[in-house]
Chains A and B, each alone.
Chain A
Amino acid sequence: MSAESYLASPRGVRSWLLTTDHKRIAILYLVSVTLFFFLGSAFAVAIRLELLTPAGDAVQADTYGRLFTMHGVVMIFFFLIPAIPTVLGNFLVPMMIGARDLAFPRLNLLSWYVYVLGASISLWAIVHGGVDTGWTFYTPFSTTYSNGAVVTTGIGVFITGFSSILTGLNFIVTIHRMRAPGLGWYRLPLFIWAHYATSLMMVLGTPVIAMTLLLVVAERALGLGIFDPARGGDPILFQHLFWFYSHPAVYIMVLPAMGVISELVTAFAKKNIFGYRFVAWASIAIAVLGFFVWGHHMFVSGQSAYAGMVFSALSFLVAVPSAIKVFNWTATLYRGSVSFRTPMLYAFGFIGLFTIGGLTGLFLSALGLDVHVHDTYFVVAHFHYIMVGGTIMAFLGGLHYWWPKISGSSYPEGWARFSALVIFVGFNLTFFPQFLLGYLGMPRRYHAYPPELQVLNVMSSAGASILGVGYLIPMVYLFWSMRYGARVAANPWGASGLEWTTPSPPPTCNFETTPVVTQDPYTYSSEEAQVVG
């Protein structure tokens, strides 16, 4: 190869910190989000330890409030939202469309610095007292009663939001303007469609959470009466504004994950995706509908029953495009050549867990049933199935699939399969009992709970320890593989996709010559497609 790999040159810390190469920025993000993932996990460990016994004995009540708040804030804002787009998206969006970089490379680097700045401010808040409002910052608790560092945390999250906006903007422009010759919209990998839909949500939704957090800061620090009824404000207004972003944020977390799964399923079934256009447009449908379901977080807040009905109906509707995707992934396996390599195990895990997460979403969309399960562990279990069972499974699956491309080395397959299995088992043992706990009525955010609920809580804590081990193993062997793993060729999986046509790891310019695309994505065979059904 004539050009050196992006990892090899230029050398030095400075060249990394001032890089505008999307691949290097992806690595910077990988390091940062991984740190925050393990920080967030540490809080989770403390939570599960506390909940081993019904009495609130391991930590103080005040500390417990800080633990689950910081678990939520760190995991959602500093890991789940950025994880897939900024690591895999950053690395792959240009490569998949045959471009040399994103449209605005320097903006891309800026977005990493903005992320680091926002995250550091929030970290500072965590060290200096922490926050005890829950990641939802509900008013008037957050503005008037909390004794935590609400303002600092809020400012940290506010700043981090700009990183999201910049990344989204960069992707939108890149996908519109920088596709290789011949790469029409319907020839784009579904990973790109998913990232396009995600970017739209980031650009449209994030400003709303930014404004909302600023209003919270204004009320808390300056005493303006916006949300606190004692000062003439309305606490429910906060919930509308907060969920207007934070519900779409769930789709910001899971849409890129769906994009990853479309790539994995096709590569390891060696087959074109079933119903390409349906999967592609399902992403857009989710992005659009996802903006109109926020009120389902407020079914017991006193919002009008008719508003509740509209939000309930829309929440049921958003389940349909998700179902379409699941069915199409399943149908893709039909008459494929299915391999059980690690990324595919994660893809299977994703489909199973996401299906359960999605279906339990229907329970919460049903007005009369949500009244009982709202704010209980049923909700906690549901969103962990989506975010951990969905997003993290896909992130790990994608990381394994593209690891040879990113690092140029292969990881130990045996260990990788083993840890995928450990994660799947540990995950289900942790979170399935929480559905039962929730229906039994255990409220979320409880430091102590009635003794009759202990068995299920012990199961959940036991599962969490297995899950923790499952997450540590890949951390170790991926590091190990960078030094000791076997070198890999350009396309070790025999996958389609432009990213596999260039050496592993790729040269800084990605492609020596701009590729020209002449066929549909996921073309593995030159045979004519068979008609089924």
Chain B
Amino acid sequence: MRWELDLFPERASTVAGEVDALYLALCLVSGLFAVLIAVLIVVFAIKYRRRSEADLPRPVSGSLGLEITWTVIPLVIALAFFAWGSSLYFTLTEVPRDALEVVVVAKRWMWKFQHLEGRREINELHVPVGRPIRLTMASEDVIHSFFVPAFRIKRDVVPGRTSITWFEATRPGRYRLFCAEYCGARHSGMVGWIVAMAPADWARWLRAEVAGESLAQRGAKIFVQHGCASCHRGGPSQRGPALEGLFGRRVRLEGGGTVLADEQYLRESIESPGARIVAGYSLLMPAYRGLVSQEELLDLIAYLRSLGPAGPGTEAR
């Protein structure tokens, strides 16, 4: 048995310190309240202890002043922490523009990672420090949750959706990755490591293995294999909307309204194209739900992104 007793996990991301600050502030305020209550109870209980069974204390009528005090003070403190927690949440969920893209597929019971350049990993993800990493995640079966305590981030990976999260490691090292949403018998085996490396080391690592195709190249092949090209590529046979420059743009919908063509919308349009149709088109496309795997889907999305002008994190190459 290892006799270690840490109170904090390592702090290895840009947000870890901010999360810890909120945690410590809440510990402090909660501690003060708990001690206040404990001291009052102990003092009152001893000072006013029953000295004889005949004791009959005089009743005390309540006090509106006190009631207002102990309603308003906790209320104000609670709202302050609400504001602090919410603003931190936006920091945790808003992906910086220059983020590096990594695609994640979760399945019982492993984590599969694909770098944009094509290198694939299982249960281990190598990333450079000092660079935000944007994770585009999908699940092949049940709900999983991507959790790296040292980075203070967690995001459920919900089947049928594309889940996005990000982090920026600050120190090279190996950090534990957990699945945090119960996913069956080997849930506690669905763990891995995030390996944060100095940027130069990482670049070397990335090139060490002949990666073959990039995500977008694989996506382009799938695009042809599944026959997408026959309707979505220019020329006389074009029956579907053109896809060049689509990603990250707002598109008008049949029946009014617009939608941002992001991962979520592209996934929906592939899996169940009838859900929201682009203005000027009708539903000719079959639903690809179940016909493309989650990995193929993410490859396709990577390909569509590569056609687009300026999605966040798009790499010029």
Q: Are B9 and A320 in contact (CB under 8 A)?
A: no
User: B6 — which chain A residues lie within 8 A by C-beta?
Assistant: 440, 452
Contact between chains at A525 and B56 (CB < 8 Å): yes
Residue of B nearest to A234 (CB): B160
> Which residues of chain B have C-beta atoms less than 8 A from A269's C-beta?
48, 57
Known: A134-B182, A316-B79, A366-B22. A330 touches B57 (CB 8 A): no
A161 to B153, CA, bound (A): 37
Residues facing A in B235-262 (CB within 8 A) are none
Interface stretch among A335-343, A395-403, A412-420? A335-343
Out of B53, B58, B88, B149, which one reaches A368, CB within 8 Å?
B88
Chain B residues numbered 16-53 whose CB sits less than 8 Å from any CB in chain A: 18-19, 22-23, 26, 30, 33-34, 37-38, 40-41, 44-45, 48-51, 53
The proximity string for A residues 291-312 relative to B, scoring 1 for CB distances below 8 Å and 0 otherwise, is: 0000000011110010011001
On whether A320 and B156 interact (CB within 8 A), knowing A355-B33, A494-B53, the answer reads no
Any chain B CB within 8 A of the CB of A10? no
Residue numbers in A under 8 Å from B55 (CB-CB): 270, 337
A356 partner residues in chain B, CB cutoff 8 A: 30, 34
B23 and A363 contact, CB distance less than 8 A: yes
Do A338 and B49 form a contact, CB below 8 Å, given A305-B90, A455-B2?
yes
**Is A110 an interface residue when CB atoms closer than 8 A count as contact?**
no
Q: How near does chain A come to B189, taking the closest CB pair, in angstroms?
A: 7
Give the CA-CA distance A274 to B65 in the complex, in Å. 12
- For residues 136 through 181 of chain B, which have their beta carbon under 8 Å from a beta carbon of chain A? 141-143, 145, 147, 149-150, 152-156, 158-161, 163, 176, 178-181
Q: Interface readout for A475-507 with B: 1 if CB under 8 Å, 0 if not?
A: 000000000000000000010000000000000
Cα distance A472–B163 when bound, in Å?
47
Q: With A270-B56, A319-B74 given, is the CB distance from A276 to B62 under 8 Å?
A: yes
Whether A436 and B7, one on each chain, are in contact in the complex, defined by CB atoms closer than 8 angstroms, is yes
Complex Cα distance A363/B31, Å? 12
Chain B min CB distance to A383 (Å): 16
A-B pairs with beta carbons under 8 Å apart, 9 shown: A316-B81, A323-B70, A330-B44, A336-B44, A337-B48, A340-B45, A366-B88, A444-B182, A452-B4
Q: Mark B82-109, 1 if CB is under 8 A from A, else 0.
A: 1011111111110000000000000010
Interface residues on B, range: 35 or more
Contact indicator B188/A61 (Cβ below 8 Å): yes
Residues of B at under 8 Å CB distance from A? 1-9, 18-19, 22-23, 26, 30, 33-34, 37-38, 40-41, 44-45, 48-51, 53, 55-63, 65-67, 70-71, 74-75, 78-79, 81-82, 84-93, 108, 141-143, 145, 147, 149-150, 152-156, 158-161, 163, 176, 178-189, 272, 289-290
B59–A369 contact, CB under 8 A? no
Give 1 or 0 for each of A404-441: 1 = CB within 8 Å of chain B CB: 00000000000000000000000000000000100111
Given A356-B30, A440-B149, A441-B178, 4 more pairs with CB closer than 8 A: A269-B57, A308-B86, A339-B49, A360-B30
Report B266 CB to chain A, min CB distance, Å: 16
Whether A320 contacts B18 by the Cβ 8 Å rule is no
Partner-binding segment picked from A20-28, A138-146, A168-176, A195-203: A138-146
Instruction: Considering the complex, give the chain A residue whose CB is closest to the CB of B148.
Output: A441
Which B residues touch A62, using CB under 8 A?
185
- CB within 8 Å for A230 and B37 given contacts A269-B57, A337-B50, A531-B63: no
Which A residues are in CB contact (< 8 Å) with B150?
Answer: 441
A residues whose Cβ falls under 8 Å from a Cβ of B: 56, 60-62, 65, 132-134, 138, 140-141, 144-146, 228-230, 232, 234-236, 269-272, 274-278, 299-302, 305, 308-309, 312-313, 316-317, 319-320, 323-324, 326-328, 330-331, 333-340, 348, 351-352, 355-356, 359-360, 362-363, 365-372, 374-376, 436, 439-441, 443-452, 454-456, 458, 494, 523-525, 527-533
* Residue picked from A360, A368, A376, most chain B C-beta under 10 Å: A368
Q: Is the CB of A334 within 8 A of B60?
A: yes
Shortest CB-to-CB span from B63 to chain A, Å, is 3
B70 to chain A, nearest CB (A): 4
In angstroms, Cα B145 to Cα A138, docked, is 13
Cα-based distance from A340 to B44 in the complex (angstroms): 12
Q: Are A230 and B45 in contact (CB under 8 A)?
A: no
Contact status A333-B59, CB under 8 Å = no
- Of A56, A348, A523, the residue contacting B45 (CB under 8 A) is A348
Q: Which of B57, B74, B88, B178 lies in contact with A320, CB distance below 8 A?
A: B74
In-complex Cβ contact of B40 among A236, A330, A339, A494 (8 A):
A330
